[in-house]
Structure 1
């Protein structure tokens, strides 16, 4: 039970008891609650049963319950928690307890969370000052005459337009003249309290977070007893003060309070819910590498082996199309790092009707993250915060204030130790450039749509380990090429529903039907042609020693060959000409195998022929390696130069590249057919598969190059 001593002072033996001031505050609140309970009883409002009652049911209950023990009067759980935190914050400041009761200090308290401002006011009024001293509200705009038996409280939560530094300074001056204790309370005092109050503050204290020992005190104040079991400290850090009344409602014992808290915190702590960790996710590329490195650093930071200043991965902007799993990444990152996830969005901030509400929502998100640090603060839909350079009309002032506050909070990285900000956007180009500057979200990683290998793993994740356990999921990945992880989840979910309604286990055909949505698979003839076409690309790239192959695949719409980027700033003219041959090798392979070519290599701006034509044109017009010599032509003027004779030059380059590709393939027809056969059967070949087949079937690469050189000499 709480010690029975009275008002704390520095000479009392209780001063040496751990949390002596917190216990004294709780006793004061308990006495207030007991007085309220007695008053209700005197007024006939007490709801406790009466053994002398004439009510038959109450008489039965009185007989079965027996003699009642002295009832413990509980303190409201949220108020008890705030009392503990306020007492601890005051106790850290040497001599502040005495000064608040004997002198006239000026104190500023930072609550971080707006929701704690009013409970802090309540605790200060009832516990902080000497008995008989009346706390006067100084939150108005008019000066208040304070007397000797009074103290001043200036409380602002940031919700009103007058909650800013230039409002209330005259009132502060009058209060200072009275020589009484003055306490200012705000989530962000620098932005919300009067300037002169901050200038005159002798003590600046910050409300700490609730830990296990503080939680034990709260449980004791509510139930009258101490818990025998301890709660996981990671769970305690995810608690909000508002969770306590919910958890303790109906709890009958201290240990029952612990059980209730576990239930409440587990349901809200995303990082403890079922779901994959970052190690289990596929298709995230550089973002996964960044996240795994951060997870290691955060674990070292939590145990004190690494300083916050030494962590370099403190802000990330995730970009990419919808459905690639940006939100899932944040959840998995928090789980891998074993830290809480505080999730919010710009849409949530803008749900308020007024600017003050939007600004308060932004502050609340950062404050909640600070309270749970170390943690991940995830901000979705960041492109909803406008670029100030693009704002026009009547919304300029509104959005400018929103952006400025966000930038200010984002830049204060040292003021939020342990808080890693991860933001997501489908349109990163719409975000204010200042957001991406050094010290803010200075790392941007784009999450691309998953490749075939990643899709196989994503299908397995959503199917689980037991469904289709022995089946190859490659056909699903190939049919879903270009889809996202969110698409895969939807395909599997709908296929499960279809199988359930048909009273059978889920099958590959169920999922394929959801992926294709009535679209027909390729015919055998088209599949064979597509396989030959893609095999031609692979052999040309392999034989010419440029543009390393990544993989080949067939899907319902045709085939695809993935290469490393064929042209970068280090490319030379011979390498570009090899890239041209590789791009045209699919068309050449069709001609060799079938005697004619299809139009598949020329459909659209991203087709093989379109890419090859653009590359051949740029040799002359942009790269300075062609007929014009070292000369750059603006793309807008390209048509003019092409009209004056360069079209034939470009066409000649393409014809030479096509002939080169055909010559290479004619020396490699066994490998061409072997690769096409395996690709048509499997639907997918990796770079290792292609190397294996080439080694087993290919003619010496030197032989092909000799024929190519001879062809080039003949054309010259």
Structure 2
């Protein structure tokens, strides 16, 4: 095997070219860091490279490796101070102190070592020519290092075994004077039974559920769980009476992992982390199943404990065939089912599955006795956003009113608010003063004004939904609004919204669903009435008006027996509904007929209330938001005027 020393340290063996006695961890760090900057080292080009070290890495080993690499590539006769190594072990290290950056300007080559991905600041990105996130040493890295250190060749199986161990543990047995085979044999003999334990989250410090805002019903459930676990530990409650399996769902950044950590602190129990990706990284199917078993066994050993299984949507339905991996998926889901069933009989284990996509999880995992409760964590509302700002601000800005801030960040997650406060603190530090409200405003992404022409179209669209909602009474209208500005840097945002309250006990008849389709199409119907055409904003995503209307019209025909036939099909996902329309011409034809009929009904009703639409359109553009009572009052006034006109013209007979 060719040694990497050809590309390092001016073609000299590292262990002889330097005064340092390099450790195994240092050699592994050299191999990892040299790979992405190999060309720069070989050509002796000037560079600044930033490396994000693996979590819990040996900082001394990486620092020595960086110094070795830089000194080994120094030009003969170069100036003193031609190289530099900077360690970032604090998120503020390079945010406040620019001395390190000034040094970087004066050297030919430098390496920045970063202990935590959260410390990778904008300053580092600006200063560095290349930024690399380093992984844990791989099996191939151990084979290379064994050759470099003079231990000879390592088999693939042995290298894979070494990669699963701690490098410090390997270093204890891997030393000169002992053969490589003897060192590996000792490691195998005294290796932890079943391999390394699953990750254990440090929960000693941080907020409890009592400190956090938002989370809806999940917060109340978690506080009750803490009381139940205490009662169980006191011997007054049987474990069978404790909820020990839930599914948490919500959009990215909604705080599912933070919830689990806060729950563990509230319950004063350990939090064990697991995921399909973490378990699968251990090897083939058998290794993955063993890793899953170890995670559950570790939770049992530390009970009472909470086991968080992240990316729970990795355990998709076994009924949907996806290709050659179906058998693998089936065995993994079956293995998890066995463990979840076993967890119910294991005292003190609470299992939480976290996902962004609850609809694709195998239904068997969510049945009674497993992850039987499902809590959806929405993005925080305005009240919750105020609370989240208060939490992350701590003792800062206690006398300031934050309602305006909270309303300005509609659609933000808790993670977005945390990032904003962190940036505001950085702004204040650079100005060498306490944080001010203006710093938070400055930390928010810039807003841009929505052109009035666009606001006119959006207002008409949302009023189309609102007016039809009042007329057809499918679900009660709450309000209608149009946005003035957007923050383009934070992704897709709503330009307007007609908010309805979906009542739990509404009778879902064919009439109800056809009215709902008409309301969904009311937006584009209003655009056509006032502007002669509608744009593409009503389609293109699963939540868009036309997409939802199309799916409801399809389910009338295929899922609910409310169309032209009583025969029904079991699937109702967007993909399955699309397949029905594609494969069955009768379904596609019926769906199109329903959409056309409800579109025409929506346009007819709005034409009859054109004066209301025009009056409310002006009001909405002026006010920005109109409550349901305003819409209803305008509709009632229109009807009174219409009745009066009919009576005056003799077209309407008044009777006592």
Is the alpha carbon distance of 1:637 and 1:700 closer, same or farther for their aligned partners in structure 2, counting shifts above 3 Å? farther
Q: Structure 1 residue 369 and structure 2 residue 305: aligned?
A: no
Q: Report SS of the residue matched to 1:275.
A: coil
Q: Structure 1 residue 655 and structure 2 residue 600: aligned?
A: yes
Asked if the contact 2:606–2:613 (Cα under 8 Å) also holds between the matched residues in 1, the reply is no
Q: Structure 1 residue 412 and structure 2 residue 342: aligned?
A: yes
Question: Who is 2:469 aligned against?
Answer: 541
Is the alpha carbon distance of 1:589 and 1:334 closer, same or farther for their aligned partners in structure 2, counting shifts above 3 Å? same
Asked if the contact 1:541–1:547 (Cα under 8 Å) also holds between the matched residues in 2, the reply is yes
Question: 1:489: how far off?
Answer: 2.4
Asked if the contact 1:456–1:476 (Cα under 8 Å) also holds between the matched residues in 2, the reply is yes
Q: Structure 1 residue 599 and structure 2 residue 570: aligned?
A: no
Q: Report SS of the residue matched to 2:475.
A: coil
Question: Who is 1:308 aligned against?
Answer: 239
Question: Pairwise mapping of residues 279-678 of structure 1 onto structure 2 (< 5 A)?
Answer: 280-282=212-214, 284-311=215-242, 313-350=243-280, 352=282, 362=292, 364-382=294-312, 406-413=336-343, 415-426=345-356, 435-451=365-381, 454-464=384-394, 466-467=396-397, 470-473=400-403, 479-481=409-411, 483-502=412-431, 516=445, 520-527=448-455, 529-553=457-481, 554=483, 556=486, 557=493, 558-564=495-501, 570-587=507-524, 599=535, 602-604=538-540, 606-609=543-546, 611-612=548-549, 635-636=581-582, 639=585, 650-664=595-609, 666-667=611-612, 673-678=618-623
Asked if the contact 1:320–1:425 (Cα under 8 Å) also holds between the matched residues in 2, the reply is yes
* CA distance in structure 1 between the aligned counterparts of 2:461 and 2:256, rounded to whole angstroms: 35
Provide Cα deviations, 1:387-434, integer angstroms capped at 9, x if missing partner. 88879989979x888766654443224542122111223455676665
* CA distance in structure 1 between the aligned counterparts of 2:355 and 2:585, rounded to whole angstroms: 37
Q: Report SS of the residue matched to 1:699.
A: helix
* CA distance in structure 1 between the aligned counterparts of 2:301 and 2:468, rounded to whole angstroms: 59
* CA distance in structure 2 between the aligned counterparts of 1:622 and 1:614, rounded to whole angstroms: 10
Question: Who is 1:226 aligned against?
Answer: none
* CA distance in structure 2 between the aligned counterparts of 1:335 and 1:405, rounded to whole angstroms: 29
Q: Report SS of the residue matched to 1:562.
A: strand
Question: 1:365: how far off?
Answer: 3.8
Question: 1:672: how far off?
Answer: 5.4
* CA distance in structure 2 between the aligned counterparts of 1:403 and 1:618, rounded to whole angstroms: 29
Question: 1:655: how far off?
Answer: 1.7
* CA distance in structure 1 between the aligned counterparts of 2:642 and 2:226, rounded to whole angstroms: 50
Question: Who is 1:277 aligned against?
Answer: 209
Asked if the contact 2:213–2:385 (Cα under 8 Å) also holds between the matched residues in 1, the reply is no
Question: 1:315: how far off?
Answer: 0.9
Q: Report SS of the residue matched to 1:420.
A: strand
Asked if the contact 1:411–1:440 (Cα under 8 Å) also holds between the matched residues in 2, the reply is yes
Is the alpha carbon distance of 1:506 and 1:157 closer, same or farther for their aligned partners in structure 2, counting shifts above 3 Å? closer
Question: Pairwise mapping of residues 3-18 of structure 1 onto structure 2 (< 5 A)?
Answer: none
Unpaired runs of 5+ residues, structure 2, are: 1-189, 487-492, 570-579, 652-656
Determine which of 690, 696, 699 is the counterpart of 2:636.
Answer: 699
Asked if the contact 1:315–1:422 (Cα under 8 Å) also holds between the matched residues in 2, the reply is yes
Question: 1:583: how far off?
Answer: 2.8
Question: Pairwise mapping of residues 103-118 of structure 1 onto structure 2 (< 5 A)?
Answer: none
Is the alpha carbon distance of 1:573 and 1:464 closer, same or farther for their aligned partners in structure 2, counting shifts above 3 Å? same
Question: Who is 1:164 aligned against?
Answer: none
Q: Report SS of the residue matched to 2:246.
A: strand
* CA distance in structure 1 between the aligned counterparts of 2:561 and 2:332, rounded to whole angstroms: 48
Unpaired runs of 5+ residues, structure 1, are: 1-154, 161-186, 188-266, 680-684
* CA distance in structure 1 between the aligned counterparts of 2:641 and 2:387, rounded to whole angstroms: 39
Asked if the contact 1:613–1:654 (Cα under 8 Å) also holds between the matched residues in 2, the reply is no
Asked if the contact 2:270–2:306 (Cα under 8 Å) also holds between the matched residues in 1, the reply is yes
Asked if the contact 1:668–1:699 (Cα under 8 Å) also holds between the matched residues in 2, the reply is no
Question: Who is 1:93 aligned against?
Answer: none
Is the alpha carbon distance of 1:345 and 1:451 closer, same or farther for their aligned partners in structure 2, counting shifts above 3 Å? same
Q: Determine which structure has more spread, i.e. the larger CA radius of gyration.
A: 1
Question: 1:276: how far off?
Answer: 4.2
* CA distance in structure 2 between the aligned counterparts of 1:298 and 1:309, rounded to whole angstroms: 11
- Comparing 434-443 and 566-575, the one that deviates more: 566-575
Asked if the contact 2:275–2:310 (Cα under 8 Å) also holds between the matched residues in 1, the reply is yes
* CA distance in structure 2 between the aligned counterparts of 1:505 and 1:536, rounded to whole angstroms: 49
Asked if the contact 2:211–2:391 (Cα under 8 Å) also holds between the matched residues in 1, the reply is no
C-alpha RMSD of matched pairs (Å) = 5.2
Question: 1:306: how far off?
Answer: 1.9
Asked if the contact 1:539–1:665 (Cα under 8 Å) also holds between the matched residues in 2, the reply is no
Asked if the contact 2:208–2:263 (Cα under 8 Å) also holds between the matched residues in 1, the reply is no
The normalised TM-score by structure 1 is 0.49
Is the alpha carbon distance of 1:269 and 1:301 closer, same or farther for their aligned partners in structure 2, counting shifts above 3 Å? farther
Q: Report SS of the residue matched to 2:474.
A: coil
Q: Report SS of the residue matched to 1:412.
A: helix
Number of aligned residue pairs: give it: 437
